[in-house]
Structure 1
Amino acid sequence: MRAIQITEFGGPEVLKESELPDPVPGDGQLLIDVDSAGVNFADTHTVEDSYLSRSTLPLVPGSEVVGRTGDGRRVVALVDNGGYAQKAVAQQALAHELPDEVTDGQALALVVQGLTAWHLLRTCARLTPGESVVVHAAAGGTGSLAVQLAREFGAGRVIATASTAHKRDLALRLGAHAAVDADPDGLTERLTEANGGRRVDIVLEMTGGPVFDASLAALAPFGRLVAYGMASRTPATPVEPAQLMGRSRSVIGFWLAHCLGRPGMYHEPLAELLAMTAQGRLRPQVGGVYALGQAAAAHTELRARRTVGKLVLDVTR
């Protein structure tokens, strides 16, 4: 089968198309003929071995696929790497059948980024109606969905951040009440101003470094900052307990892997997201479709923050 394999860690240049043997499913697993694979920012960390879990070489990246099972069912599934290939193996428990109304790209946007956005708001931040929500990287895969879900779940004010006017305009079209420049310099003040001069209740933060610091400073009493990424690859200033106690603030970490296998944390929210998409209430953004052999180009664009929404590899090309 055709696949993208890495034999050394590094940047996009290590992503090479190869011919590999078909994977063999074990007990409780499915073999999926892959039509489309999702590209996540986490994949860029996997390829350079800088993610939360360590990688082992050689490696076929990719954690999400849409395709057909041996009995003809069309499914979206999470895989333990191996997604950038014509065939992939998934645990049966992590394969979810798709409604005909949902496209491959939409499904791939929902299985990682959609579930992440859902859990950031529901499980971690515990958004209550009327609260203000800041969504960083609001034009990205997770951010573009979090803006829409925050509105759907009753946020009183949704404040988006993005690096360009084009991306900020997209966030406004998706339902953000305000959109501000993501530059960390002066960010605390811009977030407060966008919230009518008041500090904010919830921040969804995936950049790290000075953006994390500025976001923490923008939190109101009982505010919650949910950290779910480290895109800047820059550490934030260590947080002392007194900083949290002084304003009754919370910092919460989230990694989707901890939801897998826990009752009610995978299939149920995914079914809700798919139903919302089929009904037109949720609009997953597909920002680019690349041929399988263009995986390195997709990673290059993603790392340079020149993309919006979900990036997809068309494995049939």
Structure 2
Amino acid sequence: MLAIQFDHFGGPEALRPVRLPPPVPGPGEVLLTVEAAGVNFADTHQVDGSYLGEDSLPYVPGSEVVGRTPDGRRVLARVSHGYAEQVVAKESALLDVPEDLGAAEALALMMQGLTAWHLLRTSARLRAGERVVVHSAAGGVGSLAVQLAGEFGAGSVLAQVSSPAKERLVLDLGADAVVTYPLQEKADVILDAVGGELFDQALGSLASLGRLVTYGNASRTGFTPVDPARLGRLNASVVGFWLRPTLALPGAVDGPLRELFGLVTAGRLRPVTGGEYPLADAGRAHEDLLARRTVGKVVLRP
């Protein structure tokens, strides 16, 4: 079968197509024929060696797929080594996907949807009426977080983006305004996956008892030291979030996913889909993601 693998840490050029034997399901597992594999920003960190977890090389990335079981069920699944034509998944982790729901839309609800849900509910503990700022608001996580913040009762939702086209998108998704720093009014909750200078600007823009939730370092500029004395003066907090260990918590997956799918079915949540790339072009997908040329969910098609 065709798969995408890297055998050394580097940029997108480290990804290369290879032929591997099909995986063999173990007890409680099922073999899936992949319809589409999701591309996540975390994948780019795995490839360049900056991911929080360590994986042995050579490695096939990919943590989510929409695929078919041997008996024809169309399912969404969390997996390992998803950049491939076939993959194994735990039978207990399969979620049926309606035939009329696009694969990219379904995949958007897995890693990005769960991230956005937990950023707001679990980490930020958003309260009704609070002012929320979402960085990279046209991206996979950001575009869902903008909408979910409104669903969860935010008083206003402000978006930070990098281009006029992305401004139009986030306003269509329900953002109240597009903002740059310094903010005219302090924010109660700020969601940041960029780091670097933007993180520092955000920290200084928190209202009293505000929460800055950091969940990535897209800027690749290194993590900004946080002075506890500064936090004391701001009367605010910085909260770190990583999805992988969060998913191991009781109730962290099924309940939120059901809520997300319910919102989509009711027409109250619109997953934004970005580019679709052939599986063999995974490196180009990573290049476009890193260059901020994409919006919403990016997928690979075997």
Q: C-alpha separation between the residues in 2 aligned to 1:28 and 1:52?
A: 28
**Deviation, structure 1 residue 124:** 0.8
Structure 1 residue ranges without an equivalent (≥5) = 182-186
AA aligned to 1:28 is G
Give the aligned partner of residue 87 of structure 2.
Answer: 88
TM-score of the pair, normalised by structure 2: 0.97
Secondary structure of 1:10's partner? coil
Q: C-alpha separation between the residues in 2 aligned to 1:9 and 1:250?
A: 34
Give the aligned partner of residue 38 of structure 1.
Answer: 38
**Deviation, structure 1 residue 101:** 4.0
* Equivalent residues of 2:5, 2:18 under 8 A apart: yes
Q: C-alpha separation between the residues in 2 aligned to 1:199 and 1:235?
A: 25
Residues 1:60 and 2:47 are matched in the alignment = no
AA aligned to 1:66 is V
Residues 1:27 and 2:27 are matched in the alignment = yes
- Between the two proteins, the alignment pairs up a number of residues equal to 302
Q: Superposition pairs for residues 116-265 of structure 1, below 5 Å?
A: 116-181=115-180, 187=181, 189=182, 192-193=183-184, 198-265=185-252
Tell which deviates more after alignment, 205-214 or 19-28. Answer: 19-28
AA aligned to 1:223 is G
**Deviation, structure 1 residue 32:** 1.1
AA aligned to 1:51 is Y
Deviation per CA, 1:180-231: give whole Å up to 9, x if none: 24xxxxx2x1xx22xxxx2110000000111111000000000001111110
**Deviation, structure 1 residue 94:** 2.9
CA RMSD of aligned residues (A): 1.2
Q: C-alpha separation between the residues in 2 aligned to 1:28 and 1:67?
A: 17
Q: C-alpha separation between the residues in 1 aligned to 2:25 and 2:149?
A: 39
Give the aligned partner of residue 115 of structure 1.
Answer: 114
**Deviation, structure 1 residue 100:** 3.5
Q: C-alpha separation between the residues in 1 aligned to 2:253 and 2:234?
A: 33
Secondary structure of 1:151's partner? helix
Tell which deviates more after alignment, 166-175 or 84-93. Answer: 84-93
Q: C-alpha separation between the residues in 2 aligned to 1:251 and 1:54?
A: 25
**Deviation, structure 1 residue 84:** 0.7
**Deviation, structure 1 residue 163:** 0.9
Q: Superposition pairs for residues 1-20 of structure 1, below 5 Å?
A: 1-20=1-20
Q: C-alpha separation between the residues in 1 aligned to 2:149 and 2:240?
A: 18
Show structure 1 runs of 4+ deviating over 6 A: none
AA aligned to 1:217 is G
